[in-house]
A = this chain, B = another copy of it.
Amino acid sequence: MSDFETFKEIQKQMKAYQLVLGIASWDSNTEAPKDAFPYRSEMLSIISGEHFSLMTSEKYKKTINSLMEQLDDLNNQQQREIKKAKKSLDKIDKIPKSEYVEYSRLVNMAQRVWEEAKEKDDFEKFKPYLEKIIKYQKKMVRYREDTDNPYNVLLDDFEEGMTMEKYDAFFDKVKTELVPFVQEILAAKGEENDAFIHKKYPKDKQKMFVEYLLDVFDYNLDRGLLKESVHPFTWNTHSKDVRLTVRYMENFVFSSIFAAIHELGHAIYEQQVDEMFDMTNLKSGASMGIHESQSRFYENVIGRSYEFWSVHYTKLKNTFPDQLKNVSLDDFHRGINRVEESFIRVEADELTYPLHILIRYEIERAIFNDDVSVDDLPELWNKKMKEYLNIDVDKPSNGILQDVHWSGGAFGYFPTYALGSAYAAQIYYTIKEELDFEELIEQDKIKKINEWLKEKIHCFGSSLTPEEIIKKVTGEPFNPDYYIRYLKEKYTDLYLN
């Protein structure tokens, strides 16, 4: 057996473990009963341990290292597979198995505890878990790299090539340009016909409308399904099993509609990856940032456009005739783009959204530079909310406890959300040049837009790097100015003209 064949064989075994761990995680996050968790955590840590053993086995390491010497004999795709595997290997090779197993068990439990803590608005309940997770994260970074900037290592994990330096420059632009612009917009806001937003929209009707959206966006139900969960997410094992979840809030219908369109962006991306990658480590989206660019593109650029609702508003109005009585298309369009100071990131409007991320970025940065203790996090969070968004956080579930990420150990993830929006804006100015973008939306032909994105981005999976994709699609490297331009154009038009 050649080294490359050995590599493929071990990769396949790893994929098998990832599949069952993935399915178990889907189950845990959507329906597993409360009392099942202690036993389940213990058992899953054994399977994670086996996966880990495989990933760090001498045979696998030897094979990868040997293949790194023979790169020239491999074709482009094979080279990318090996380099990607080598990078993953380097990331974990130095972590002792027992700690990896312990850590898996911890985050399994922590996610459950976080859910309860959030429900009971009790940060103290979650705090010891958060402390342990951060401690583990710092320790694991140290195993991997001798660095003065542990946060850089985590940032790079979620977006290849990104560093504090680059993010500082990006968020500096966000802070300088957008914080005052948001205040300007908020000051200019007049009386709106927007009482409809928080009327009661029954859950079953919302579900019907979300199912309609699956069809509008040409989501393939032979390759996925829609479900409910506490926090909306997309889940996939390969291009033929890509699922999404939403939650239904009866007093806030936008939550399910735009979470659905957002997750559809992620899901359509994964469904459109070429199936030739199914059995490789290139089968999933290129990076967190590129992924988020797609979900943001679908959610905001398409889903909050006037053109989109000019064709689908009738359906919505027929679904909710009482709630939307006397609400014109104009009212509705302004309603879905309403800017306001709000607590919850996932329900924030497109303009204030990057400020929510700015806060998380600065807090994570401080955590990993040892500038803040976990005890002080709620206060720090609330202080920044006041500074950037000018609001007072009333309870932990509206503040520090709102997101699932930290309970899963995902530090360095949040910044990719804002980066994704910025990528999306850059892609938007390109797609407008190549397609009759607005017309396609108005003609209910999102399928054509899917096809363009498939050809330009989706089909490649992660066989290209984020930088390569952005360059290839837009003809230039990542440039955050498009993002500022996009937001200023859109919201000036909506509020200042």
Which A residues are closer than 8 A to B by beta carbons? 12-13, 15-17, 19-21, 23-24, 26-27, 31-36, 38-40, 43-44, 46-47, 50, 220-225, 227, 237-238, 240-241, 243, 278
Contact = CB atoms under 8 A, between A and B. Distances in A.
Nearest to A275: B39
Nearest to A243: B33
A357 B243 CA distance: 39
A21 B222 CA distance: 22
Given A40-B237, A237-B40, A27 B35 contact: no
7 contacts: A16-B47, A19-B43, A20-B43, A20-B44, A26-B27, A35-B223, A36-B237
Contact of A23 (B20, B39, B46, B238): B20
Nearest to A278: B39
Nearest to A46: B16
B241 A13 contact: no
* A20, A38, A44, most chain B CB atoms within 10 A: A20
Nearest to A18: B43
Nearest to A283: B39
Given A19-B44, A39-B237, 13 more contacts: A13-B46, A16-B46, A17-B47, A19-B24, A20-B23, A20-B44, A23-B23, A27-B27, A31-B227, A32-B241, A33-B224, A35-B223, A39-B241
Given A33-B224, A221-B33, A240 B19 contact: no
B16 A222 contact: no
Contact of A19 (B31, B40, B50): B40
* A26, A35, A47, A278, most chain B CB atoms within 10 A: A35
A222 B112 CA distance: 14
A222 B35 contact: yes
A344 B463 CA distance: 52
Nearest to A36: B241
B16 A43 contact: yes
A18 B328 CA distance: 56
Nearest to A35: B240
A44 B39 CA distance: 22
Contacts of A21: 20
A190 B19 CA distance: 57
Nearest to A241: B36
Contacts of A27: 23, 26-27
Nearest to A19: B43
A280 to B, nearest CB: 12
A211 to B, nearest CB: 15
A39 B225 contact: no
Contacts of A222: 33-35
Given A20-B21, A26-B27, A44-B16, A36 B278 contact: no
A69 to B, nearest CB: 28
A472 to B, nearest CB: 28
Q: Which 6 A-B pairs have the closest CB atoms?
A: A36-B241, A16-B46, A20-B20, A35-B240, A16-B43, A19-B43
A240 B36 contact: yes
Contacts of A16: 43-44, 46-47
Nearest to A49: B16
A225 B31 contact: yes
A130 B36 CA distance: 36
Nearest to A32: B241
Contacts of A47: 16-17, 19-20
A16 to B, nearest CB: 4
Contacts of A221: 33
A224 B21 CA distance: 20
A26 B26 CA distance: 12
A225 B31 CA distance: 8
A129 to B, nearest CB: 21
B20 A238 contact: no
A33 B237 contact: no
Contact of A43 (B15, B31, B38): B15
Contact of A33 (B19, B34, B223): B223
A227 to B, nearest CB: 8
Contacts of A36: 223, 237-238, 240-241
A239 to B, nearest CB: 9
Contacts of A31: 225, 227
Contact of A241 (B17, B35, B223, B278): B35
